[in-house]
Structure 1
Amino acid sequence: MDKASRVYTELKHNRHMEELQNLHPNAYDYIIDTVLHKWSCVYYPDRRYRVMTTNVAKCINSCLKFARQLPMLTLAEFNRNMLQHWFRDRHWVAQSMHHQLTDATHLVILKSMENCNFMTVNPVDCNIFLAKRSGK
């Protein structure tokens, strides 16, 4: 299941699921009844730009796997077009933001600030502080 959860193509996902079915039929039956997009990268509904990595070279390299067989000029045009779409999509997302941070990060900070309302902070020295939860 771990292998099936980490791949980005349906073909590889199905191959790993068949392997799981052969090795552990009960586990396969249980997993197949679950919601695939909650644990499988290939069925995750949000855009991940086809990879989950912070390494830009790996990201672009994996997106160009099938295009590598194209002639050089066609490959360059494919690459330009792909990056242009990525930047356009991200620009639209950035333009719709209401804060300087992403909405998800803003919510994390708001939740942390809400939790801090119940904390008392005392300095230990100029660099270290002791935070204690005060009675609510």
Structure 2
Amino acid sequence: MFVACCMDGNNQIYPLAFGYGDSENDASWSWFLTKLHDVIGEPPELVIISDRHKSIEKAVRTVFSNSLHGNCIFHLSQNIRAKFKNDKVQKFFFKAAKAYRVSEFESYMQEVSKVKADAVAYAMEAYVEKWARAHFPGRRYSIMTTNIAECLNSVLRDARELPVTVLTEYLRFTFQQWFHDRRIEAQKMNTYLTTFAHKMEVSRKERSLYMNAFAVGLLLISSQGQSLRSNS
């Protein structure tokens, strides 16, 4: 079964499409992504994250030619761990992959080099712009792995063995209930932002009350030894 999903504004999994196929190959992934493209089109700044399956990469280049493709850092980190058998290498790789600034990325990769110099070369060969947030040409936000797809697969694990028609009905019923419950919760919201975003905003505002800000430049401030880049 093929799955495409994203995150909604309340940080919840939003299923987009499901497809059935006998195997994962160039033809099946091209078919599935073509059907997905028929439904959602190709929105501006669209980013597709997947594991390093060659058929997915080929299909994305062909079907979503104007969109960006990124790799799941968890799958790559597992390969690194298996090859170099060192938890420190994996730890610093994760930090490097998640870094927002190139300077931070380089600092963590230097730590990787101190432990296993050849691990740096191995990671860079996997096209750094596909897994490092600091080098990614688009916006990945917090979506660095395919965890949401894995979570969806986990929910459907037992149902996958059902006949196709029964499985389809199971999917309809399950997500019908999901969206009903979310609609009820959405109706209770009385804030401008979603519940998830509002809580994050309140938390950051509360922390900022204990900080002293000092101007460094037009777009940069220093705050209690921390540098916070302005979004204005």
Q: TM-score, normalised by structure 2?
A: 0.30
Higher Rg: 1
Q: Which has the higher helix share?
A: 1
User: Looking at both structures, which has the greater relative contact order when contacts are Cα pairs under 8 Å and sequence separation is at least 6?
Assistant: 2
Q: Which has the higher strand share?
A: 2
